Structure 1
Protein backbone atom coordinates (compact mmCIF):
# COMPACT_ATOMS: atom_id res chain seq x y z
CA UNK A 1 0.00 0.00 0.00
CA UNK A 2 2.68 2.50 1.02
CA UNK A 3 4.85 1.55 -1.95
CA UNK A 4 1.95 2.06 -4.35
CA UNK A 5 1.24 5.48 -2.83
CA UNK A 6 4.93 6.42 -3.11
CA UNK A 7 5.09 5.42 -6.79
CA UNK A 8 1.82 7.25 -7.49
CA UNK A 9 3.17 10.33 -5.68
CA UNK A 10 6.32 10.23 -7.81
CA UNK A 11 4.22 9.95 -10.97
CA UNK A 12 2.07 12.93 -9.91
CA UNK A 13 5.17 15.01 -9.07
CA UNK A 14 6.79 14.09 -12.39
CA UNK A 15 3.59 14.91 -14.29
CA UNK A 16 3.31 18.29 -12.58
CA UNK A 17 6.96 19.13 -13.42
CA UNK A 18 6.43 18.07 -17.04
CA UNK A 19 3.28 20.25 -17.18
CA UNK A 20 5.23 23.24 -15.81
CA UNK A 21 7.99 22.74 -18.43
CA UNK A 22 5.58 22.24 -21.35
CA UNK A 23 3.16 25.04 -20.53
CA UNK A 24 5.40 27.47 -18.69
CA UNK A 25 2.65 27.80 -16.08
CA UNK A 26 4.15 27.35 -12.58
CA UNK A 27 0.70 26.70 -11.12
CA UNK A 28 0.98 22.95 -11.90
CA UNK A 29 3.83 22.53 -9.37
CA UNK A 30 1.84 23.51 -6.20
CA UNK A 31 -1.21 21.63 -7.52
CA UNK A 32 0.92 18.48 -7.83
CA UNK A 33 2.34 19.06 -4.33
CA UNK A 34 -1.15 19.41 -2.86
CA UNK A 35 -2.31 16.21 -4.58
CA UNK A 36 0.76 14.29 -3.33
CA UNK A 37 0.24 15.65 0.21
CA UNK A 38 -3.42 14.63 0.09
CA UNK A 39 -2.45 11.14 -1.13
CA UNK A 40 0.10 10.70 1.69
CA UNK A 41 -2.44 11.94 4.25
CA UNK A 42 -5.00 9.39 3.02
CA UNK A 43 -2.45 6.58 3.28
CA UNK A 44 -1.54 7.72 6.82
CA UNK A 45 -5.21 7.71 7.89
CA UNK A 46 -5.70 4.26 6.36
CA UNK A 47 -2.63 2.86 8.16
CA UNK A 48 -3.67 4.39 11.49
CA UNK A 49 -7.14 2.84 11.21
CA UNK A 50 -5.71 -0.51 10.18
CA UNK A 51 -3.11 -0.61 12.98
CA UNK A 52 -4.96 1.23 15.73
CA UNK A 53 -5.18 -1.95 17.81
CA UNK A 54 -1.37 -2.10 17.86
CA UNK A 55 -1.04 1.58 18.78
CA UNK A 56 -3.51 1.54 21.66
CA UNK A 57 -2.96 -0.94 24.51
CA UNK A 58 -5.31 -3.87 24.05
CA UNK A 59 -6.25 -6.32 26.76
CA UNK A 60 -5.97 -10.08 26.36
CA UNK A 61 -9.17 -11.83 25.31
CA UNK A 62 -12.01 -12.17 27.81
CA UNK A 63 -11.81 -15.97 27.99
CA UNK A 64 -8.17 -15.96 29.14
CA UNK A 65 -8.80 -13.08 31.55
CA UNK A 66 -11.75 -14.96 33.08
CA UNK A 67 -9.59 -18.09 33.50
CA UNK A 68 -6.98 -16.10 35.42
CA UNK A 69 -9.54 -14.27 37.57
CA UNK A 70 -11.39 -17.51 38.35
CA UNK A 71 -8.12 -19.15 39.37
CA UNK A 72 -7.17 -16.26 41.66
CA UNK A 73 -10.63 -15.94 43.23
CA UNK A 74 -10.57 -19.64 44.12
CA UNK A 75 -7.07 -19.69 45.61
CA UNK A 76 -7.24 -19.91 49.43
CA UNK A 77 -4.58 -17.23 50.00
CA UNK A 78 -6.60 -14.66 48.02
CA UNK A 79 -9.34 -12.75 49.86
CA UNK A 80 -10.13 -10.17 47.17
CA UNK A 81 -8.89 -8.84 43.83
CA UNK A 82 -8.50 -5.20 42.86
CA UNK A 83 -7.39 -3.35 39.74
CA UNK A 84 -6.86 -6.41 37.52
CA UNK A 85 -5.55 -5.47 34.09
CA UNK A 86 -3.93 -7.09 31.11
CA UNK A 87 -2.14 -5.74 28.08
CA UNK A 88 -1.01 -7.23 24.80
CA UNK A 89 2.77 -6.82 24.52
CA UNK A 90 3.25 -8.74 21.29
CA UNK A 91 1.55 -11.28 19.05
CA UNK A 92 0.13 -13.82 21.51
CA UNK A 93 2.03 -12.34 24.49
CA UNK A 94 0.47 -10.54 27.44
CA UNK A 95 1.20 -8.73 30.68
CA UNK A 96 -1.14 -9.29 33.66
CA UNK A 97 -1.39 -7.09 36.74
CA UNK A 98 -3.50 -7.43 39.88
CA UNK A 99 -3.67 -6.05 43.38
CA UNK A 100 -4.56 -8.77 45.86
CA UNK A 101 -5.90 -8.62 49.39
CA UNK A 102 -4.17 -11.66 50.84
CA UNK A 103 -5.70 -13.95 53.45
CA UNK A 104 -3.03 -13.57 56.15
CA UNK A 105 -4.28 -16.57 58.10
CA UNK A 106 -3.87 -18.87 55.08
CA UNK A 107 -0.41 -17.46 54.31
CA UNK A 108 0.67 -18.19 57.90
CA UNK A 109 -0.96 -21.65 57.93
CA UNK A 110 0.77 -22.60 54.67
CA UNK A 111 4.08 -21.34 56.07
CA UNK A 112 3.68 -23.27 59.34
CA UNK A 113 2.81 -26.47 57.42
CA UNK A 114 6.11 -26.19 55.57
CA UNK A 115 8.30 -25.18 58.50
CA UNK A 116 6.70 -26.82 61.49
CA UNK A 117 4.26 -25.14 63.84
CA UNK A 118 5.69 -26.80 66.92
CA UNK A 119 9.19 -25.42 66.33
CA UNK A 120 7.89 -21.85 66.33
CA UNK A 121 5.68 -22.54 69.35
CA UNK A 122 8.72 -23.87 71.23
CA UNK A 123 10.79 -20.81 70.32
CA UNK A 124 8.02 -18.46 71.50
CA UNK A 125 7.56 -20.35 74.79
CA UNK A 126 11.28 -20.30 75.54
CA UNK A 127 11.64 -16.62 74.63
CA UNK A 128 8.64 -15.70 76.79
CA UNK A 129 10.48 -17.12 79.83
CA UNK A 130 13.48 -14.88 79.20
CA UNK A 131 13.82 -11.11 78.98
CA UNK A 132 11.82 -9.01 76.49
CA UNK A 133 14.69 -8.76 74.00
CA UNK A 134 14.62 -12.53 73.44
CA UNK A 135 10.88 -12.45 72.72
CA UNK A 136 11.28 -9.44 70.43
CA UNK A 137 14.05 -11.25 68.56
CA UNK A 138 11.88 -14.35 68.00
CA UNK A 139 8.94 -12.16 66.95
CA UNK A 140 11.15 -10.25 64.50
CA UNK A 141 12.46 -13.51 63.03
CA UNK A 142 8.93 -14.86 62.73
CA UNK A 143 7.73 -11.63 61.07
CA UNK A 144 10.62 -11.78 58.60
CA UNK A 145 9.75 -15.40 57.76
CA UNK A 146 6.05 -14.58 57.26
CA UNK A 147 6.93 -11.74 54.87
CA UNK A 148 9.18 -14.15 52.96
CA UNK A 149 6.31 -16.66 52.93
CA UNK A 150 4.05 -14.02 51.38
CA UNK A 151 6.68 -13.47 48.68
CA UNK A 152 6.71 -17.23 48.06
CA UNK A 153 2.93 -17.22 47.69
CA UNK A 154 3.17 -14.38 45.16
CA UNK A 155 5.82 -16.32 43.22
CA UNK A 156 3.59 -19.43 43.27
CA UNK A 157 0.58 -17.49 41.99
CA UNK A 158 2.63 -15.87 39.22
CA UNK A 159 4.01 -19.24 38.10
CA UNK A 160 0.57 -20.89 38.12
CA UNK A 161 -0.96 -17.99 36.15
CA UNK A 162 1.74 -18.36 33.48
CA UNK A 163 1.05 -22.12 33.31
CA UNK A 164 -2.70 -21.48 33.05
CA UNK A 165 -2.31 -19.00 30.15
CA UNK A 166 1.08 -19.63 28.50
CA UNK A 167 0.96 -16.36 26.55
CA UNK A 168 1.27 -14.35 29.76
CA UNK A 169 4.93 -13.37 29.88
CA UNK A 170 4.87 -10.87 32.77
CA UNK A 171 2.78 -11.13 35.92
CA UNK A 172 2.74 -8.25 38.38
CA UNK A 173 1.03 -9.06 41.67
CA UNK A 174 0.95 -6.46 44.40
CA UNK A 175 -0.49 -6.62 47.90
CA UNK A 176 -3.56 -4.38 48.09
CA UNK A 177 -3.29 -1.61 50.66
CA UNK A 178 -6.74 -0.06 51.16
CA UNK A 179 -5.42 2.75 53.35
CA UNK A 180 -2.70 3.81 50.90
CA UNK A 181 1.03 4.05 51.50
CA UNK A 182 2.35 4.34 55.03
CA UNK A 183 3.19 7.87 56.19
Structure 2
Protein backbone atom coordinates (compact mmCIF):
# COMPACT_ATOMS: atom_id res chain seq x y z
CA UNK A 1 0.00 0.00 0.00
CA UNK A 2 2.98 2.32 0.60
CA UNK A 3 5.00 3.07 -2.52
CA UNK A 4 7.73 5.14 -0.86
CA UNK A 5 8.60 7.18 2.22
CA UNK A 6 10.41 10.53 2.11
CA UNK A 7 11.69 13.28 4.40
CA UNK A 8 11.69 11.15 7.55
CA UNK A 9 12.42 13.07 10.74
CA UNK A 10 12.45 11.99 14.36
CA UNK A 11 12.74 14.70 17.01
CA UNK A 12 13.73 13.95 20.60
CA UNK A 13 11.22 15.73 22.85
CA UNK A 14 12.76 14.65 26.13
CA UNK A 15 13.04 11.48 28.17
CA UNK A 16 11.29 8.62 26.34
CA UNK A 17 9.44 11.03 24.06
CA UNK A 18 9.89 11.30 20.29
CA UNK A 19 8.04 13.07 17.48
CA UNK A 20 8.04 11.19 14.17
CA UNK A 21 7.30 12.84 10.82
CA UNK A 22 7.38 11.42 7.30
CA UNK A 23 5.97 12.02 3.85
CA UNK A 24 4.30 8.89 2.49
CA UNK A 25 3.59 8.09 -1.14
CA UNK A 26 0.67 5.65 -1.26
CA UNK A 27 -0.14 3.30 -4.13
CA UNK A 28 -3.55 4.52 -5.26
CA UNK A 29 -4.40 1.20 -6.90
CA UNK A 30 -3.76 -0.68 -3.67
CA UNK A 31 -5.82 1.78 -1.62
CA UNK A 32 -8.64 1.38 -4.14
CA UNK A 33 -8.24 -2.42 -4.03
CA UNK A 34 -8.69 -2.32 -0.23
CA UNK A 35 -11.86 -0.27 -0.72
CA UNK A 36 -13.19 -2.67 -3.36
CA UNK A 37 -12.75 -5.67 -1.05
CA UNK A 38 -15.71 -4.52 1.04
CA UNK A 39 -18.04 -3.99 -1.93
CA UNK A 40 -20.41 -6.28 -3.79
CA UNK A 41 -18.93 -5.79 -7.26
CA UNK A 42 -21.61 -7.92 -8.96
CA UNK A 43 -24.31 -5.61 -7.58
CA UNK A 44 -22.36 -2.52 -8.56
CA UNK A 45 -21.92 -3.85 -12.11
CA UNK A 46 -25.68 -4.36 -12.41
CA UNK A 47 -26.32 -0.86 -11.05
CA UNK A 48 -23.89 0.73 -13.50
CA UNK A 49 -25.38 -1.17 -16.43
CA UNK A 50 -28.70 0.46 -15.58
CA UNK A 51 -27.33 4.01 -15.79
CA UNK A 52 -28.68 6.04 -18.66
CA UNK A 53 -27.25 9.48 -17.93
CA UNK A 54 -23.89 11.07 -17.30
CA UNK A 55 -25.35 12.52 -14.09
CA UNK A 56 -25.96 9.03 -12.69
CA UNK A 57 -22.41 7.97 -13.56
CA UNK A 58 -20.97 11.16 -12.07
CA UNK A 59 -22.89 10.62 -8.82
CA UNK A 60 -21.54 7.06 -8.63
CA UNK A 61 -17.94 8.14 -9.28
CA UNK A 62 -18.14 10.97 -6.75
CA UNK A 63 -19.51 8.66 -4.08
CA UNK A 64 -16.85 6.02 -4.60
CA UNK A 65 -14.08 8.58 -5.01
CA UNK A 66 -15.01 9.97 -1.61
CA UNK A 67 -14.98 6.47 -0.11
CA UNK A 68 -11.49 5.81 -1.50
CA UNK A 69 -10.22 9.04 0.05
CA UNK A 70 -11.83 8.05 3.36
CA UNK A 71 -10.10 4.66 3.10
CA UNK A 72 -6.76 6.40 2.57
CA UNK A 73 -7.37 8.48 5.70
CA UNK A 74 -8.21 5.39 7.74
CA UNK A 75 -5.04 3.68 6.48
CA UNK A 76 -2.95 6.68 7.58
CA UNK A 77 -4.61 6.52 11.01
CA UNK A 78 -3.97 2.76 11.21
CA UNK A 79 -0.29 3.16 10.34
CA UNK A 80 0.14 6.01 12.85
CA UNK A 81 -1.44 3.91 15.62
CA UNK A 82 0.76 0.91 14.74
CA UNK A 83 3.89 3.07 14.86
CA UNK A 84 2.91 4.32 18.33
CA UNK A 85 2.04 0.82 19.55
CA UNK A 86 5.27 -0.72 18.27
CA UNK A 87 7.38 2.24 19.49
CA UNK A 88 6.03 3.50 22.86
CA UNK A 89 8.55 6.34 22.92
CA UNK A 90 6.78 7.94 19.94
CA UNK A 91 4.32 10.44 21.38
CA UNK A 92 3.38 12.22 18.16
CA UNK A 93 3.23 10.85 14.60
CA UNK A 94 2.69 13.07 11.57
CA UNK A 95 2.35 11.22 8.28
CA UNK A 96 1.78 13.47 5.29
CA UNK A 97 0.37 12.07 2.08
CA UNK A 98 2.34 12.85 -1.08
| TM-score normalised by length of structure 2 | 0.90
Choose between structure 1 and 2: higher strand proportion: 2
Confirm or deny: 8 A CA contact 1:84 1:96 kept in the other structure.
yes
Quick one: structure 1 residues 152 and 122, their matched pair in 2 at CA, closer, same or farther if it must change by over 3 Å? farther
Residue ranges of structure 1 left out of the alignment (5+ in a row): 1-76, 177-183
2:12 corresponding residue in structure 1? 88
2:26 corresponding residue in structure 1? 102
**Distance between the aligned counterparts of 2:11 and 2:34, measured in 1?**
32
Q: 1:136 deviation in Å?
A: 0.3
Confirm or deny: 8 A CA contact 1:93 1:167 kept in the other structure.
yes
Q: Which has the larger radius of gyration?
A: 1
Once the two structures are superposed, residues 19-50 of structure 1 have per-residue CA deviations (whole angstroms, 9 ceiling, x without a partner) of xxxxxxxxxxxxxxxxxxxxxxxxxxxxxxxx
**Distance between the aligned counterparts of 1:163 and 1:90, measured in 2?**
19
**Distance between the aligned counterparts of 2:26 and 2:96, measured in 1?**
10
Looking at both structures, which has the greater relative contact order when contacts are Cα pairs under 8 Å and sequence separation is at least 6? Answer: 2
Confirm or deny: 8 A CA contact 1:123 1:138 kept in the other structure.
no
Q: CA RMSD in A?
A: 1.4
Q: 1:122 deviation in Å?
A: 3.7
Choose between structure 1 and 2: higher helix proportion: 1
Residue ranges of structure 2 left out of the alignment (5+ in a row): none
2:96 corresponding residue in structure 1? 174
Q: 1:121 deviation in Å?
A: 3.4
Deviating beyond 4 angstroms after TM superposition, the runs of 4 or more aligned structure 1 residues are none
Say how many residue pairs are matched: 97
Once the two structures are superposed, residues 122-142 of structure 1 have per-residue CA deviations (whole angstroms, 9 ceiling, x without a partner) of 44333xx32110100000001
**Distance between the aligned counterparts of 2:75 and 2:96, measured in 1?**
11
| TM-score normalised by length of structure 1 | 0.50
